[in-house]
Amino acid sequence: MYSLVRPLLFALDPSLAHAMGLAALAPIEYVAPIRMAVRALCARPRPRLVTRAMGLTFPSPIGLAAGFDKNARRPRALAALGFGHIELGTVTAREQDPSPPPNLFRLPKDQALINRLGFPNDGADRVTRRLVSHGGARGVGVPVGISIGKSRVVAIDPLAPVIADYVASFRAARALADFVVVNVSSPNTKDLRALQDAALARELLSALVGENARDSTGGRRVPLLVKIAPDQEEAHLVALFAVVRELGLEGVVATNTTVSRAGLRDPETAVAAGAGGLSGPPLRARALEVVRAARRELGAGATIFGVGGVETADDVLAFIRAGANLVQIYTGFIYGGPSIPFRLAKDLDARLAALDVSGIADIVGTEHQSL
C-alpha cells in the first residue's frame, strides 16, 4: 500500500508530506479501538526480541529516533505501529520555529535525507504537558525517551546560560520520560557540536547528572544518555566516552546526522540542498564504527543505541553485533512506510531463530564471533 502512496507524498514538499503523515496517524492516536486493533496487528509479542536495558523493558530493540515526533503529537499511534520505544523531541527550553525554508530535502537515489530544521518545537514544558494528556509514558505503552537540546537564542559562550537552558529542559523531561538523551551533536544549531569537547561536555553533563540526583524539585532519577556526532575524530570520541564513563551516564546514542557527503550516488542533489545533517544509508558504515568504539570504550554495562541507515533486519543485526543494545530508525521510516517496524521485527525474529539464540542479549557485540 505505501509503495502506491509514497510517489504522491514524495511529489510534495517534504515538510508538508511530514505534516500529512502525522495527520494520518491521528485516528490511531485518538480512537482507542482503532489503536488497539493496529497494536494487535503490528505490535505482536515476540519474546526473542524483548530487550532489557537501563532498568527498562523494551518489547523490541527497534525504536523511533528523535526528530519524527518533535512535539509528542502521536506517541501512542507510533507505538501501536510496532516500535519498541519512541524518542520524542528534540525539545528546547524555549519554543522555537524551524530554520528558514527550504530546510528538508530528499535524496531518493541514496534513500537519504538532508535536514537543517534546527530543533523546531513547542518548548519543553508544553511538549511534556502534551505527553501528560496522552497518559504519559505509561499511556504510550513502550519506553519513551525525550531528547533535549540547546535553545537557539542562547549563545555557546559563556557556558553558564547554556547549562541553565539544558537544565530547564531536563527538569521538564525527567518528570515523564523513561530516559533522557542530551543532544549536543546536531549540526543545525550554531556551535552546538562544540559541547562534545571533553571539557565542555564534562561541565554540562556534570550539571545534568547533579540535577538528576536531586529530589528537591519532586523529580525522579532517569537514565541519562548523550547523543554524539559521527564526524568526530577517534581521539575526540575516546575523550568524550571517558567523560561518559567518569560521570556514570547510562550510555550513548550513536549517531546523529553527518555533515559528510562522501560516497553519495546523487551528490548533485546534496550540493544543491546545501548545509544540513545527512541521514540514511550513506551514514551506516560510520555509525557502525562509532558503535564499535562506544562499546569498546564504555564496556559491557553501558547502553548503546545504534542509529544511522537502518533499513533491514540485517542492518539491525549488524548494529547489535557491533555493540548496540537497541537501534533507532528515522529515514528508513520515511522511505519504508508505517509497516517498517512490524516488518523489521518479524524478520529479526526469524534471523534470531535461525541463529538459535534466545534473545538480543546473546548477540550484543559478537560480530567477531561465529554464531
Active site (catalytic) residues: 186
Torsion-angle region of 209 (φ positive above 0: left; ψ -120 to 50: alpha; else: beta): alpha
Question: Which has the closest alpha carbon to 159: 121, 119, 197, 127?
Answer: 197
CA dihedral sign, ordered 238, 242, 245, 250: negative
Contact 252, 226 (CB under 8 A): yes
Cell of 331: 529515514
Q: DSSP string covering 46-93, please?
A: -GGG-EEETTEEESSSEEEPTTSSTTSSSHHHHHHTT-S-EEEEEE-S
The secondary element (H helix, E strand) that includes residue 146 is strand 144-148
CA 350 to chain centre: 25
DSSP assignment, residue 358?
Answer: S
Cell of 258: 553527518
Q: What angle do CA 54, 293, 59 make, to 5 degrees?
A: 30
Which are the contacts of 287, defined by CB distance < 8 A and separation ≥ 6?
230, 254, 255, 306, 307, 308, 309, 319
CA-to-CA separations, 16 to 13, 91, 201, 216, 280, in angstroms, rounded: 5, 21, 36, 43, 20
Q: What angle do CA 266, 259, 183 make, to 5 degrees?
A: 135
Which are the contacts of 44, defined by CB distance < 8 A and separation ≥ 6?
82, 342, 345
Q: What angle do CA 278, 80, 319 make, to 5 degrees?
A: 40
